[in-house]
Structure 1
Amino acid sequence: MINGLMWLLTFQMVGELISRGLDLPVPGPVIGMLLLFAVLLWRRPDGAAGVIRVSESMLRHLQLLFIPAAVGVVTYLSVLKADAVPIAGGLFVSWLAGLITVAGLVTLLVRRPKEAS
């Protein structure tokens, strides 16, 4: 399990180094996650691999990772109240953009001709 945790932390660190070193607008953990995904696709580890076991145990306790975000929201509640209308507008517009994007992609994929197997 420690080995799997070290893999996760190493890829996060490498992603952070790439993000900061190249001054990219993408967060380092996102780059690290993409690199880890590529390595996992390449190596195809079995279910007993350390990185898989650590990931599964972290996913079982995923709700605990939302506690810091909830504390941050409560901390900035006065700011959120003062700017409630622009925040609600931004949330609605981003939700609508995501909905339209997904609907467009689904429509394109459904209309695409099926390939012969």
Structure 2
Amino acid sequence: MRGGIVVGLTWLVVCQLVGEVLVRLTDAPVPGPVVGMVVLLLALEVRRRRGHDTDRDPAVRAADGLLRHLQLLFVPAGVGVVAYLGAIRDDAVPIVVAIAGSWALGLVVVGWTTRLLERSEGRA
């Protein structure tokens, strides 16, 4: 049983490594771990189509184990915020303006898109 978890973690790390290598080789503007997740998705989809039970796949079981402890993965981000608290305090106004501005812009774009879709379907 433990061997399955190790195999699953190896799958996850190898997919992330493949993603990092692909990003470095292609100079893509996407983070390597995101490409690695796409690689993992494709690998799991290929395995599923070949008849493997993906619910019992070692990579899925390892990912489920990591997701149960997802809150621990936020600790490094929290430490980073505390470490750079002085810089954040010095630039608080631009940070708040950027966050509020991006939120408002996102809200407006979603509203316009919804309105356009409703018009195209003839509901408005």
Pairing 1:93–2:93 present: no
Q: Which residue of 2 aligns with 1:19?
A: 23
1:58 to 66, 71, 74: 66
Q: How far apart, CA to CA, are the structure 2 residues paired with 1:64 and 1:38? A: 27
Q: Normalising by structure 1, what TM-score?
A: 0.83
Tell me how far 1:110 sits from its aligned partner. Answer: 6.1
Q: CA RMSD in A?
A: 2.0
| C-alpha distance after superposition, 1:27-83 (max 9, x if no partner) | 111111112122223322431111111111100000000000000000000100110
Structure 2 residue runs without a partner (length 5+): none
- Quick check: which one's helix share is greater? 2
User: Is the 2:8–2:60 contact (alpha carbons within 8 Å) kept by the matching residues of 1?
Assistant: yes
Q: What SS does the aligned partner of 2:77 have? A: helix
Cα 1:48–1:105 shift into 2, 3 Å = farther
Q: How far apart, CA to CA, are the structure 1 residues paired with 2:85 and 2:106? A: 26
Tell me how far 1:109 sits from its aligned partner. Answer: 6.0
Pairing 1:41–2:49 present: no
Q: How far apart, CA to CA, are the structure 2 residues paired with 1:103 and 1:38? A: 33
Structure number with larger C-alpha Rg = 2
Q: How far apart, CA to CA, are the structure 2 residues paired with 1:68 and 1:13? A: 21
Tell me how far 1:100 sits from its aligned partner. Answer: 3.5
Q: Which amino acid aligns with 2:35?
A: I
Q: How far apart, CA to CA, are the structure 2 residues paired with 1:82 and 1:47? A: 49
- Aligned-residue sequence identity (percent) comes to 46
1:10 to 14, 37, 51: 14
